[in-house]
Amino acid sequence: MRDGVATASGTIAITRAVSPTLADCELTHIAREPIDLARAVAQHAAYEAALATLGCRVVRAPDAPGCPDAVFIEDTAVVTDEVAVITRPGAASRRGESAAVAALLATWRPVVTLTDPATLDGGDVLVVGRAVFVGLSSRTNREGLQQLGAALAPHGYVVRGVPVAGVLHLKTAATALDDHTVLVNPAWVDPTAFAPLTAIPVDPGEPGAANVVRVGTQVLVAAAFPRTAQRLRDRGYAVTTVPADELAKAEGALTCCSLLLRDTEAVSRGL
Ligand code: CIR
């Protein structure tokens, strides 16, 4: 369902197919339950279609059928307008996902790669303007924070560590709605960590709702969280909802399934 459309021309959304091995995914904070692969694939297709409708150019990274969590491509990189930082994912089982993503991102950005002993998942990195909030979680360590900071500092970004406990990633608990506002589950992360940004709380009955994808002036919200979606509409945000409950059984949320980057070449051509 869509309330309105403001397209994000000049945004590339990199996605990756749902692997046939998805059932073997990493799980940290939720219990394993059967995953309907066909349903997960259909929800992923709906997600890609929503991104395309919002004006993104959807580009698929090469399939990685042997990597159960490959669909959660967000964790493999942090991309700004200036650089692509290839992460070293915190789960060893996921480190084989990065090389093909690095090769693809080199199409648009210079690439910097984090090295051992750094660990960092893209799901822990929230970029709002030049502020970069980095969740210190079971996946992301201080060396990861420091190496990311070193890669981004030349471009004017300032990184700030945010303690994360009880949930997988920082962006499980908070994501940006615009350059001044974050959507937060205050039970999982202290909203003052984002000061001076304004923090909007999710509906208390929808703890997972803080993970939304901002595309231009639109916000993509999982269909499982209608009260938070309404809360955002009431505040003037244009909300699109997509089903994602099957992917959620693999502990993935909406941001996990794409890497969004400005097509800086398209911007410079005035497209
Ligand atoms: C994992 O545990 O790594 C995957 N099953 C889920 C990753 C979700 N990614 C994300 O939130 N950025």
For residue 25 and ligand 1, the question of a CB distance below 6 A is answered with yes
**Which atom in ligand 1 lies closest to the alpha carbon of residue 68?**
5
Distance 131 CA to ligand 1 centre (A): 23
Domain boundaries, given as residue ranges, for the chain:
11-268
Q: Select from 165, 221, 211, 219 the least CA-distant residue to 190.
A: 165
55: left (phi over 0), alpha (psi -120 to 50) or beta: left
- Give CA torsion, residues 46, 47, 48, 51, to 10 deg: 120
pTM of the model: 0.95
Distance 236 CA to ligand 1 centre (A): 30
Q: Select from 4, 2, 6, 8 the least CA-distant residue to 262.
A: 8
For residue 173 and ligand 1, the question of a CB distance below 6 A is answered with no
Instruction: Give the model's confidence band at 269: pLDDT under 50 very low, under 70 low, under 90 confident, else very high.
Output: low
User: CATH 3.75.10.10: does it fit domain 11-268?
Assistant: yes
For residue 97 and ligand 1, the question of a CB distance below 6 A is answered with no
CB 77 within 8 A of CB 103: no
Distance 59 CA to ligand 1 centre (A): 20
With 0-12 CB in 10 A as exposed, 13-18 as middle and 19+ as buried, what is 203?
middle
Residue 3 confidence (pLDDT) above 70: no
Q: Select from 172, 159, 82, 177 the least CA-distant residue to 123.
A: 172
Respond yes or no: is residue 256 known to be catalytic.
yes
Supply the residue whose CA is at minimum distance from atom 3 of ligand 1.
26
pLDDT digits 0-9 by tens, 92-137? 999 999 999 999 999 999 999 999 999 999 999 999 999 999 999 9
Residue 231 confidence (pLDDT) above 70: yes
CA atoms within 13 A on the CB side of 172: 24
Chain-wide mean pLDDT for the chain? Answer: 95
Q: Select from 41, 23, 42, 43 the least CA-distant residue to 33.
A: 23
Active-site choice (56, 67, 256, 257):
256
- Helical H segments across 37-127, by residue range: 37-53, 98-105
